[in-house]
C-alpha cells in the first residue's frame, strides 16, 4: 500500500506531520494541511480495470463511489473499516436546454445531490468520519450552512459517535435542520453568520476535545476528490474543457483540483479541465480577491438566497487558489436573480438542485458572455445539493398567488374539464 502523511500547504513551511494529528492545521505555522501520498507505481490501465471490476462485487466498500477508488485514499489503518452509507455513484446527465440558455455550450451535470443525505458533503464525510474513528475521536463537530451538519449527523450516527453542530440562527433551511435532528445531532444555533459559528467552534474545539469535521479537515477533501475520478471514468477518461462549481468555503474546488493533480501524476489524465468557481454576488470574497493575488478581504455580512454558499470568510481559499492557478481557472460571481433564472433553465431539462448548485449555470452564461468560455465548449457543472434541500426557495419563486399552473377544484368532472381548459390553454 502507498504511504500517506499530512503535509503543510505553505511552501515556506512544508512540514510533514503524522496522520494521527488531532489538529486539522499545521502545528508549526497554522496553515492548512494536505493528505499527501507516495503512491505505488501501478499501470493506469490496471487501476482503471481494478476500479471497474469492483462495480460488479457486493462488498460495501466496492459499492461506495468513494472507497471504490481506495488506492487514492490509503490513509486508514487496516483495523478500521470505512463508515459508508453507499455514497457516490452519482449520475452524469446531459442538460441540453440549460446548455443552450447558457450560450450554446455542450453542458452536462454531475449530480452530487444524489448522495445519501442529498449533498456532496457525504463524499467527504465518509472519509472524515472513518479517519476520526482511527484517531479515537470522542465527539465530532462542525459549523454548517446546513448540508455539512446533515451529513455529519448521518455518518456520526452510523459510526456511533455523538455530534454537535453550530449553525447560524434562522440561517439554514428547515429540511436540513430536520435531517440532522432525526440523526440525533445536538444543535447549537448561533445568533450570527456561518462565519461567526465557525469562529466559535474553533475557539472551543480544542478545550472540549471536539473533532472538527469542516472542510479544513484534510480528510474531507480526500473523499470529495473522488467525484472527479468518477466523473472522468463516466466520460471514458476524457476531460471536459471546463469543470464548474459553486464556491462557499472553497473545499470542493480544492478537492476537485487535488483529485485532478493526483490523476495526472498517476498517468490517468493528460490534460485537466479548467476549473471555474462561481460565487454569489453578496458573498463573493474569493471572486473579488482572485485577481489581486493577495489574501482575501472577508465579507462581514454575506447575503444571498443560496444559503449553502452564504460564507464571507472562506477557510480553504489558499488551496482553492492553488488549484485554480495550475488549471488556468476562472472565477465569476452571479446575482440571486441570475441564480433563479439558471435554476429554471435546469428545471426545463428535468434537473432539480439547490439554489447554490444552480449558480454554476448562471456563471457559465456570464463567462460565455464575457468570452472567457468559447462557444461549443464541453462544460460539466457540479450540482452540489438535492432539489428538496430548500423547498421554501421554490415556494417563494414558483408558487405565489399569481401561479397560473396550479388550481384547486371540487371533486367534480366539470370542474376538472374547466381546470384542464385553463391550465393547458395556449
Decide if residue 137 touches ligand PLP (CB under 6 A): no
Which of Zn ion, ligand PLP, none does residue 29 bind (CB under 5 to 8 Å by kind)? Zn ion
Q: For the segment 159-188, give every residue that binds ligand PLP (CB under 6 A).
A: none
Which of ligand PLP, Zn ion, none does residue 248 bind (CB under 5 to 8 Å by kind)? ligand PLP
Listed residue (330, 325, 333) closest to 379, CA to CA: 330
Angle between helices 226-234 and 44-54 (to 10 degrees): 90
Name the minimum Å distance from CB 127 to Zn ion.
22
Decide if residue 7 touches ligand PLP (CB under 6 A): no
Query: In 10 A of CB 80, how many CB atoms?
Result: 14
Q: Measured from the CB atom, is 51 or 122 closer to ligand PLP?
A: 122
Q: CA–CA separation, 226 vs 229, rounded Å?
A: 5
Which of ligand PLP, Zn ion, none does residue 31 bind (CB under 5 to 8 Å by kind)? Zn ion
Answer positive or negative: Cα dihedral of 260, 262, 263, 264: positive
Q: Measured from the CB atom, is 247 or 312 closer to ligand PLP?
A: 247
Listed residue (102, 99, 109) closest to 369, CA to CA: 102
Which of ligand PLP, Zn ion, none does residue 247 bind (CB under 5 to 8 Å by kind)? ligand PLP
Which of Zn ion, ligand PLP, none does residue 8 bind (CB under 5 to 8 Å by kind)? Zn ion
Kindly compute the dihedral angle of the four CA atoms of residues 264, 91, 153, 250, in this order, to the nearest 10 degrees.
Answer: 40
Specify the pairing of strand 106-111 against strand 16-17.
unpaired
Name the minimum Å distance from CB 403 to ligand PLP.
25
Q: Measured from the CB atom, is 122 or 349 closer to ligand PLP?
A: 122
Decide if residue 357 touches ligand PLP (CB under 6 A): yes
Name the minimum Å distance from CB 81 to ligand PLP.
26
Instruction: Give me the residue whose beta carbon is nearest to ligand PLP.
Output: 385
Listed residue (392, 399, 338) closest to 171, CA to CA: 392
Stretch that binds ligand PLP, among 91-99, 324-332, 351-359, 412-420 (CB under 6 A): 351-359
Stretch that binds ligand PLP, among 132-140, 234-242, 248-256, 391-399 (CB under 6 A): 248-256
Site string for ligand PLP, 105-124 (x = CB under 6 A): --------------x-x---
Name the minimum Å distance from CB 53 to ligand PLP.
31
Decide if residue 275 touches ligand PLP (CB under 6 A): no
Strand order in the sheet with 378-383: 92-94, 106-111, 378-383, 242-246, 274-280, 330-334
Name the minimum Å distance from CB 25 to Zn ion.
8
Q: CA–CA separation, 226 vs 71, rounded Å?
A: 11
DSSP 60: H
Query: In 10 A of CB 16, how many CB atoms?
Result: 12
Which of Zn ion, ligand PLP, none does residue 360 bind (CB under 5 to 8 Å by kind)? none
DSSP 147: H
Strands (E), 97-201: 106-111, 139-143, 163-168, 186-190
Decide if residue 31 touches ligand PLP (CB under 6 A): no
Strands (E), 184-253: 186-190, 210-212, 242-246
Q: CA–CA separation, 246 vs 308, rounded Å?
A: 9
Q: Measured from the CB atom, is 223 or 247 closer to ligand PLP?
A: 247
Name the minimum Å distance from CB 251 to ligand PLP.
3
DSSP 273: P
Q: Measured from the CB atom, is 15 or 134 closer to Zn ion?
A: 15
| Residues counted in the chain | 426
Binding site for ligand PLP (CB under 6 A): 119, 121, 147, 215, 246-252, 308-309, 354, 356-357, 384-385
Amino acid at each position: 500500500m502507498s504511504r500517506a502523511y499530512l503535509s503543510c500547504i505553505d511552501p515556506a513551511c512544508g512540514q510533514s506531520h503524522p496522520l494521527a494529528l488531532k489538529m486539522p492545521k499545521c502545528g508549526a505555522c497554522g496553515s492548512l494541511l494536505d493528505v499527501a501520498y507516495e503512491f505505488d507505481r501501478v499501470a493506469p490501465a490496471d487501476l482503471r480495470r481494478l476500479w471497474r471490476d469492483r462495480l460488479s462485487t457486493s462488498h460495501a466498500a466496492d459499492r461506495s463511489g468513494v472507497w471504490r477508488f481506495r488506492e487514492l485514499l490509503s490513509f486508514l489503518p487496516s483495523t478500521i473499516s470505512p463508515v459508508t452509507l453507499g455514497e457516490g455513484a452519482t449520475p452524469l446527465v446531459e442538460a441540453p436546454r440549460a446548455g443552450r440558455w447558457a450560450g450554446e455550450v455542450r453542458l452536462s451535470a454531475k449530480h452530487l445531490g444524489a448522495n445519501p443525505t442529498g449533498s456532496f458533503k457525504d463524499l467527504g464525510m465518509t472519509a472524515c468520519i472513518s479517519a476520526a474513528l482511527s484517531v479515537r475521536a470522542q465527539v465530532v463537530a462542525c459549523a454548517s450552512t446546513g448540508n455539512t451538519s446533515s451529513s455529519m449527523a448521518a455518518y456520526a450516527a452510523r459510526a456511533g459517535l455523538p455530534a454537535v453542530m453550530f449553525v447560524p440562527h434562522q440561517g439554514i433551511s428547515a429540511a436540513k435542520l430536520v435531517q440532522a435532528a432525526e440523526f440525533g445531532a445536538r444543535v447549537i444555533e448561533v445568533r450570527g453568520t456561518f462565519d461567526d459559528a465557525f469562529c466559535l467552534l474553533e475557539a472551543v474545539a480544542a478545550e472540549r476535545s471536539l473533532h472538527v469535521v469542516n472542510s479544513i479537515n484534510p480528510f474531507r477533501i480526500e473523499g470529495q476528490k473522488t467525484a472527479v475520478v468518477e466523473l472522468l471514468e463516466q466520460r471514458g477518461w476524457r476531460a471536459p474543457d471546463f469543470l464548474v462549481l459553486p464556491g462557499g468555503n472553497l473545499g470542493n474546488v480544492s478537492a476537485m483540483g487535488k483529485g485532478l493533480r493526483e490523476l495526472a501524476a498517476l498517468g490517468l489524465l493528460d490534460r485537466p479541465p479548467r476549473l471555474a468557481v462561481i460565487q454569489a454576488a453578496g458573498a463573493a470574497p474569493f471572486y473579488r480577491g482572485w485577481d489581486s493575488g493577495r489574501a482575501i478581504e472577508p465579507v462581514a455580512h454575506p447575503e444571498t438566497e443560496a444559503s449553502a454558499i452564504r460564507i464571507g470568510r472562506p477557510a480553504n481559499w489558499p488551496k482553492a487558489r492553488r488549484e485554480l492557478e495550475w488549471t488556468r481557472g476562472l472565477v465569476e460571481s452571479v446575482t440571486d436573480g441570475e441564480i433563479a433564472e439558471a435554476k429554471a433553465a435546469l428545471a426545463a431539462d428535468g434537473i432539480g438542485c439547490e439554489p447554490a448548485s444552480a449558480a454554476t449555470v448562471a456563471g457559465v452564461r456570464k463567462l460565455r458572455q464575457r468570452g472567457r468560455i468559447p462557444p461549443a465548449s464541453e462544460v460539466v457543472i457540479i450540482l452540489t445539493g438535492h432539489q428538496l434541500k430548500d423547498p421554501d426557495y421554490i415556494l417563494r419563486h414558483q408558487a405565489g398567488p399569481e401561479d397560473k399552473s396550479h388550481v384547486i377544484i371540487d371533486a367534480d368532472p366539470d370542474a376538472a374539464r374547466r381546470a384542464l381548459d385553463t391550465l393547458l390553454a395556449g
